[in-house]
Homo-oligomer: A and B are copies of this chain.
Amino acid sequence: VSAELTAIVGATLIDGTGRDPVPDSVVLIDGDRISAAGPGTQVPVPDGARRVDAAGAHLIPGLMDANVHLVAAIFPDYILQFEGRYEELALEAAQVCLAAGFTTVFDTWGPTAPLVAVRERINRGEVPGARMFVAGNIIGFGGPFSSDFFAADDLIADETRARINEQWERGVGADLMWLTADGVRERVREYVETSGVDFLKYAASGHAVGEMHFITFSAEAQRAIVEEGHRAGMTVQAHTTSVESLRMEIEAGADILQHGNLTGQASIPEPLLDIIVERQLPVAALYYTAAYIAWARENKVSSTYNEHLDHNNRRLIETGANLLLTTDGFAWGRAIRHPKLAKYSDGPDFGINLGDAHVVWLKAVLEQGMSPMDALVAATRNPAVAYGHPDLGTLEPGKIADLVLLDADPLADPENYLRIRAVWKDGAEVDRDALPDPRVLTEPA
């Protein structure tokens, strides 16, 4: 018997595969892996195992968020105020996630170097934190001080703009739109080889600017990006916000459709939806509660939240699309009120803060017809599979031992995901009370 053997005994086990809950279960953790999981009647507790009494509790896999931004410095003031401290912000956010039961998160846009550095420190065990996978820049987007975010060219010195933008762009910024597919390929290859990122995300379409909407890369350029990612063994996802860019992304071979449900002033055509469902293409879809949607409608925040989004979101659930929990969240730790966010954030249930934003998503998908079990799978197994990490996401023998023990049934009420008794990551229990440490942006609960 391994000295490190732990047995979690008596919990209702919901293992992330979608199978029925198992009451009175036993789950054995051996080192960083699960060695057994099942009904207590079938899984004996070895002698010498450290025994965790979990009677009355619910045991689920460590949660996974398919879309976070751990460096919360995304507004002009925060970007500058915290320059040089982005690692601190990233670490704080990774710890906020871990404390909330998210053992793995996928950072889909941020400054590459500090994110990679924090990922390494966590992976080396120097500091606690959610397991991080990092995309760095969205290929084709400029940095924070660019037209894609805040041009600010009348306020910020060129040298400041360049210095900041470079921390995000890393050679795969908006200037790629000037290049041929070959030119794009060359830049992406260099990025793949030198940046240290885990997966790629590219812009198949732009951020809407006013009434405009547009395609960022030609079909050929998109294929070049996907090929370069795959060549390096990376998953590749695309940011899309229109029906045509969504189609192009799929044809280019993207592995994950990042906010594939946002198609602006049109709904996803049924033939395209058929493809998404048949191929079970992972869709990292943002969902909003009925309360938020009603507010957005009344306040004419229609650029994003409109009948087409509503339609897409319902159809994706109805048709059994492969959905991933995604929050697009940040660790501000409080209701930040920023002029650039205000037109969205004034609404109710605006889930943007890591730590509880996922409950908003879970509520919203339930409201729109998803079953509680499917929602749980969307928050565990689906992201693991979509991102190519088959040893994560479920509580089955041989898998990495990432677990969350809840005081109440998560299938009964999404709020119960917050009633955490314990979290294990890589087989070790997390000292949640100590997280985050140090605090930079967040405040004590």
Contact = CB atoms under 8 A, between A and B. Distances in A.
Interface of A: 75-78, 80-81, 83, 142, 146-148, 150-160, 174-175, 177-181, 183, 206, 209-221, 242-244, 247-248, 263-266, 269, 336-340
Contacts of A75: 155-157
27 contacts: A75-B156, A76-B76, A76-B152, A77-B80, A77-B157, A80-B80, A80-B81, A81-B160, A147-B209, A147-B210, A154-B339, A156-B339, A157-B336, A158-B337, A175-B211, A178-B213, A178-B242, A178-B243, A178-B263, A179-B244, A179-B266, A180-B244, A180-B269, A214-B214, A215-B216, A215-B217, A218-B247
A244 B150 contact: no
A357 to B, nearest CB: 19
**How many copies, total?**
4
A178 B265 CA distance: 6
Contacts of A148: 212
A212 to B, nearest CB: 5
Nearest to A264: B178
A213 B177 contact: yes
Nearest to A165: B211
Contacts of A157: 75, 77-78, 336-339
Contacts of A147: 209-212
A243 to B, nearest CB: 6
A220 B244 CA distance: 9
B155 A152 contact: yes
A248 B180 CA distance: 11
B153 A339 contact: yes
A212 B179 contact: no
A156 B76 contact: yes
Given A211-B142, A214-B214, A221 B244 contact: yes
Q: Which residue among A83, A150, A180 has the maximum number of chain B CB atoms within 10 Å of its CB?
A: A180
A311 B182 CA distance: 20
B80 A177 contact: no
Contacts of A153: 210, 339
Given A155-B340, A178-B264, 8 more contacts: A146-B210, A153-B210, A154-B340, A157-B337, A158-B337, A177-B242, A183-B266, A215-B217
A155 B155 contact: yes
B243 A180 contact: yes
A185 to B, nearest CB: 12
Given A177-B242, A264-B178, A337-B157, A209 B209 contact: yes
